[in-house]
Amino acid sequence: MAGYVTKLKSVIVWLAVVGAVTMLLVILERGKESIGSIFLGSRYAVWEAIAILFLFILAGGLVVSTGIGLQNPGDYWYASGVPVLGLQILLALAAGAFLLWMEPKWGTRSPYLLDVLMCLGIWLVTAWLWAHEPLQPNFFMPDTLDNLMYPYSDSATFDIGSQFALIGQGIFNGQYFDRALYIALLTYLHMLFGQNMDLMMTAQAVIFAVFPVVMYLIGREVHSRALGVSVAVLIILRGLNSLVASKWIDLASPKMILTDFATAIGVAVFVFLVLKWLREPSKWHLAVWTGSALGLTIMLRTHVLLLLPVLVFYLWIKLRPQWKAAVLGTVLLILGMLVSTTPWDLRNRPNGVPMFYVYYYRIEEVLRARYGVQGSTPDAQLPEIASVHSSRAQVQTGNLTRQRIAGLAAAEYCDSQLCRIVNHFFHNFITSFLFLPTSFVFDDLWNTIKLSTPYWKNNWLGEGLGLSTGIFLFINMALISLGFGAMWVRNRIASLIPVSFFLTYIFSNALAFTSGGRYIVPVDWILGLYYMAGLLQLVIWALKLAGWKSPPEILSFGVEEKLPVLQFPPRFSGIFSTLVIVFAIGSLIPFAEKPFERRYPSRSVDETLVMLEQKGMFEQTSFDRQDLAAFLSDPQADVLVGRLLYPRYYPAGMGEMDRHYPYRPLAFSRTVFIVIGPFDAGRQNVIIEGAPSEFLSHASDVVVVGCKNELNLDGLVVFELSDPSHVYVRSPEPEWKCPLPLPPVP
């Protein structure tokens, strides 16, 4: 359409001006209010917006003058989040404005039914759109050289945790892992859809389609149904953007095996329950549900634990005339949180893992890894965990290439821990803003990411911010400020809850020296909530200028009621039943590993060779059982019995853009896969030099023979125990002696 637009530009401009003048005449003729009267009627919202905008300007001045948050990149430093396009913003706003017009026509019929229909419609539309968007190759699920898309890096860590459950060895090989909620979800998805990754991710996207529904409910609570619809549409479209853009930038989407998107849903559910509970504090069971939402979300990312003291502080402010109610609310909140995680703690208790370890395990890891705090470590206390740490380290080592910014040493400019914390905090803050439009041009997604703006480059240092971009940044800050003011008028201090959680979470990221990218996915949607509230406030003002009178009930959801007198003692029967339900929900996590019997019994070398002989495997080879037994008598030789995962073939010089051996580019062709089973480490990387095999398949039962080294197992022969069975031998076949000859590691 570009050529037509260029030729018709003068006509388009003329029509736009005539349309604007006509609309102005209509407003002046029909208007019952003036601009002055409208601002006077909304003076509290305007003053609050001006105060917040002033704080934004101060923060922006600090960033521009010092470079903090931009100029000192380091490890775990990512670019901006998933962008949202200008036309998508207009579509979301139009949806909210349409509901403003339609809602009065609903009349006095049940508002509950309206909410049910809205939630169901939002979920169906989201599920259909997200499910039909194809899975794109990305860093966490690459398709290099036509390899099938299998999980990689962090995604492989989570999926392997569920694969252990499928072979009867328990989630993460029966050992402790603090993010077990998502692994349990993957286990259930594998139970339903097998090993088809595309089908699994489609099912996950359908489940995650609840996110816009929760956003609708949050928008309705803090403002109106119109805001709920606007924010829901924005989240739907941004989810589509994340699916499309996953091949270009580092992010989290509904079809990625990562905890970030799931954490965003958990935080959103927590925010909604907080708003519901604090609006009706006499419903004590809501305190339990709120705590359980926080506890389950902690089992996705421990960062959200810092939201607890923020909520408790607000609770005591809210209930300060009735301190007994504040005490009881705090107790029920913490009790709900602990009960939701107790089933997983009870599962780990026999292995010597401390109770409630999920709440401080990750904190100890951060203190050791990022702050160099030594002392009693979990590995020293719990020997069973050591193998998990080593296996996770193997998978995650490759992340360092993506996370390090070549040639930019943070220590040169920001060498103190305090400076690094502040630096990462502002980087989180800045990248959370930059997903909003910053251009007068309605670019498509590819042009926005690749050409128009530099915010999605990890080495961006703040350059490229011209006058038009600066104007848009100011407009975005003003709209977010106006949205806060509009919420403040309806909710007073309750309007602080989402933004307080946002600031607390990005501060927790900063404490762990992480910022940007998928690290802000759990909370950057909160700015979108205030942004759409600001835009909707402009629409409401424009409609009032045109003579529209909104029925009071349309914008009355957020009006904060006076605190009711809370009766003591409360009805403990409702509280107890809620605790039972919460415990049952938490029990679904350890229950995910129960349906599976142990697939691979521990066998000695002789028993394994006898099994191969009984299956007739040696009939397909040029060697026999005695030859293999002689090779395995070498102390460096090893045999693995287990499940083969993620087979990939790379020609010489090819590989993933990563430092993780053996996936990085190497000087020889090879097949690479992972084997999990009942052996000591639980999992092992295997590399076999030679031509690709058309037989090795994902999730097949195998026996692998090779030579151990510090990096992996150098494979010599693979017996695939399928029907029909296959044998894959290293080529060219070397002398059967460890170590096997390999080109030197680069």
pLDDT given for residue 551 in this prediction: 57
DSSP single-letter state for residue 521: T
SS3 label, residue 622: coil
User: How confident is residue 390, by pLDDT bands cut at 50, 70 and 90?
Assistant: very low
- Give the separation between CA 33 and CA 36, rounded to whole angstroms: 8
CA of residue 446 relative to chain centroid, distance: 22
* Distances from the Cα of 601 to the Cα of 169, 597, 598, 641, angstroms: 10, 10, 7, 9
246 closest CA partner among 531, 521, 532: 521
Residues near 304 by beta carbon (within 8 Å), at least 6 away in sequence: 263, 266, 267, 270, 294, 297, 298, 505, 508, 522
45 closest CA partner among 506, 381, 674, 530: 530
What's the mean pLDDT in 70-94?
86
What's the mean pLDDT in 716-728?
87
Question: Does residue 404 surpass a pLDDT of 50?
Answer: no
- Would you list the DSSP string of 56-111? HHHHHHHHHHH-TTTS---TTB--------HHHHHHHHHHHHHHHHHHHHHTTS-H
Do you find a cis peptide bond into 662, omega within 30 degrees of 0? yes
Cβ neighbours around 674 below 10 Å, total: 24
pLDDT above 70: percentage of residues in the chain: 88
pLDDT given for residue 187 in this prediction: 95
- Give the separation between CA 736 and CA 630, rounded to whole angstroms: 9
- Give the separation between CA 730 and CA 687, rounded to whole angstroms: 10
SS3 label, residue 545: helix
Q: Are 159 and 339 in contact (CB under 8 A)?
A: no
- Would you list the DSSP string of 136-148? PPBTTB--GGG--
- Give the separation between CA 83 and CA 653, rounded to whole angstroms: 35
pLDDT given for residue 163 in this prediction: 94
243 closest CA partner among 142, 91, 137, 121: 137
Residue 54, judged by CB atoms within 10 A of its CB (0-12, 13-18, 19+), counts as: exposed
298: its two tokens: 């902690």
- Give the separation between CA 588 and CA 184, rounded to whole angstroms: 8
64: its two tokens: 């521009």
User: How confident is residue 207, by pLDDT bands cut at 50, 70 and 90?
Assistant: very high
The mean-pLDDT minimum among 209-218, 224-233, 302-311, 380-389 falls in 380-389
What's the mean pLDDT in 102-131?
85
The mean-pLDDT minimum among 404-408, 417-421, 501-505, 556-560 falls in 404-408
**Digit-coded pLDDT (tens) for 151-173:** 998 899 999 999 999 999 999 99
What's the mean pLDDT in 192-206?
93
pLDDT given for residue 397 in this prediction: 34
332: its two tokens: 């029920």
Residues near 17 by beta carbon (within 8 Å), at least 6 away in sequence: none
Question: Does residue 504 surpass a pLDDT of 90?
Answer: yes
Query: Does 68 or 307 have the greater pLDDT score?
Result: 307
Q: Are 523 and 472 in contact (CB under 8 A)?
A: no
481: its two tokens: 């400020």
255 closest CA partner among 239, 268, 236: 239
- Give the separation between CA 85 and CA 518, rounded to whole angstroms: 19
Question: Does residue 14 surpass a pLDDT of 90?
Answer: yes
pLDDT given for residue 184 in this prediction: 95
**Digit-coded pLDDT (tens) for 325-348:** 888 889 999 999 999 999 999 998
Residues near 446 by beta carbon (within 8 Å), at least 6 away in sequence: 248
Question: Does residue 108 surpass a pLDDT of 90?
Answer: no
- Give the separation between CA 564 and CA 364, rounded to whole angstroms: 42
- Consecutive H or E run containing 131: helix 111-132
Question: Does residue 213 surpass a pLDDT of 70?
Answer: yes
- Give the separation between CA 300 and CA 615, rounded to whole angstroms: 43
The mean-pLDDT minimum among 84-88, 439-443, 643-647 falls in 439-443
* Percent of the chain as helix, strand, coil, to the nearest 5: 60, 5, 35
Q: Are 559 and 297 in contact (CB under 8 A)?
A: no
501 closest CA partner among 305, 287, 222: 305
Alpha-carbon torsion (241, 250, 127, 133), positive or negative: positive
pLDDT above 90: percentage of residues in the chain: 38
